[in-house]
Homo-oligomer: A and B are copies of this chain.
Amino acid sequence: MFELRPDASPPLVNQIINGLRDAIENQTLKPGAKVPSIRAFAAKYSVSTFTVVEAYDRLVAQGLLVSRGTAGFFVNRAAGDLLEAQASEPDTAKPAFNSEWYLQQIFESRQLAFKPGCGWLPNDWMFEDGLRRGLRQVASSVLELSGYGDPMGLAELRTLTAQNLQQDLRIVVPPNQLMLTHGASQALDLAVRTLVRPGDVVLVDDPGYPNLMSILRFQGATLVGVPRTPNGYDLDHLQRLLEQYRPSVFFTQPHLHSPTCTRTPLVQLHRLLQLATQHDFRLVENNLYADMIEEPLPCLTSLDQLQQVVYVGSYSKSISPNVRVGYMLANPELMQQLLQLKMRSGLTTSQVMERVVYAAITDGRWRKHLKRLRQRLAEAHQEVGRQLARLGFERFIDSDEGMYIWTRHPAIPDSAALLDDALDQGIMLGPGQLFMVDSQATGWMRFNVAFSTDPALWEQLEKLLVKHVRAVKDR
């Protein structure tokens, strides 16, 4: 049908895709025709079945092929119309390096061998058993499928979450001030849309959470970064910022802050709340990683009890990000606004999924799962710490809790310069630039310890480092 050149560019997968597209376009492959089986194609062209699977999958995603299960793959009868429609569209070229684009790549590149830059946990670290039992339990229970469920979210899960917060963090809150959301991300988005008006100056941690910065900018906010130190906040600096900018809100993650994994001392939390009163700004506290802290650790909301603080939490890190169940707490008046916006912008959250989460965390094995998770993270911290030290990396803090190590190498002034070479080796890094409020180049980078224990990764990184240092010297 066509010729493949394994040693030429573009990569084989793309050669197959282009070849089949051409064959469909010039009707060598007719609408509705069966295409060769994956195995037959691989044999005929002497390529791996993996390569063919990848090519066929992408052609299915483009709508040109249709998969009919065991019957095989067929040319979509409407493939001609699709090709015609695409021909009339302008090419959306891959944008130059920018955070938005890189963040999307992180979520999309599932083929990569190493993902030290990602923000989640490996499959077998998640609460799979609990979730599976939860799904089974819900499947055999009486399903309430009618209606949209409680606007605030499943009552049982709210009550239990409130009880856990009371027990662990001394946050005393009735369940009717706790709203379930579609992950912590929806909670943050609702807070942004409710509290921030276009033109407002808003404080965020610097470095901080890229997705939050992105949604704040989309809302029209001007962002001012509050520098993160190894010991929490720089409160003197914050005070100057407050006087200069009069911000309306500070979105912050006091404990296991991403990307640095630092904590904030109690005395600073207290002082920060005093500043919020004096300078009349609100705090949105993101406590996403609370379950990764061994002992109960008071947070802003533990002190403030929702006077000035909105609290955001999630089950993404302790059960699975895939369940998309988070929650937020606010004072009654603000909660009413948040609830109305939640209903306007997506109606209720999925009560079926909330039941599954409820079943999972009342399963009796959840606390044990969390303990084991913290243990594995601590072990991974040790291992990754050794590797970083071996290669001469410097760390922001010395700790073994949470998911991340924030680190830099004296020979790498700009960690983003490593990205392309790393991607070629199948490595997705977490360049510090992504997390900086003003997107400036930086040597810092974030390692997710759970995805960084494979010695093969460190062999590759060592080679990259050597190559990079040599290239810098040669210049």
Interface residues of A (CB under 8 A from B): 57, 60-64, 66-67, 76, 78, 81-82, 85-86, 89-90, 92, 100, 103-104, 107-108, 110, 118, 120-123, 125-128, 131-133, 135-136, 138-140, 143-151, 155, 158-159, 162-163, 166, 172-176, 182-183, 185-186, 189, 193, 198, 211, 214-215, 218, 305, 320-324, 331-333, 336, 339-341, 343-353, 356
B63 near A211 with CB under 8 A, answer no
Q: Which residues of B contact A198 (CB under 8 A)?
A: 198
CB distance from A69 to the nearest CB of B (A): 9
Q: A339 — which chain B residues lie within 8 A by C-beta?
A: 104
Question: Chain copies in the assembly?
Answer: 2
Determine the chain B residues whose CB is within 8 A of the CB of A356 once the complex forms: 352
Subset of 11 A-B contacts with CB under 8 Å: A89-B331, A89-B332, A92-B332, A107-B147, A123-B143, A135-B139, A322-B350, A322-B351, A322-B352, A323-B350, A324-B353
Expressed in whole angstroms, the minimum distance between the Cβ of A74 and any Cβ of chain B is: 11
- The answer to whether B352 touches A151, judged by C-beta atoms less than 8 angstroms apart, is no
A172 in complex: contacting residue of B78, B123, B138, B175, CB < 8 Å = B78
Residue among B108, B122, B135, B305 making CB contact with A151, cutoff 8 Å: B108
User: Which B residues are CB-close (under 8 A) to A211?
Assistant: 343-344, 347
Contacts of A104 in B (CB 8 A): 151, 339-340, 343
Distance from A318 Cβ to chain B, minimum over Cβ atoms (Å)? 11
Chain B residues with Cβ under 8 A from A89's Cβ? 331-333
Given known A-B contacts A322-B352, A349-B324, A352-B353, A343 and B107 have beta carbons under 8 A apart: yes
How far, in Å, is A183 (CB) from chain B's closest CB?
6
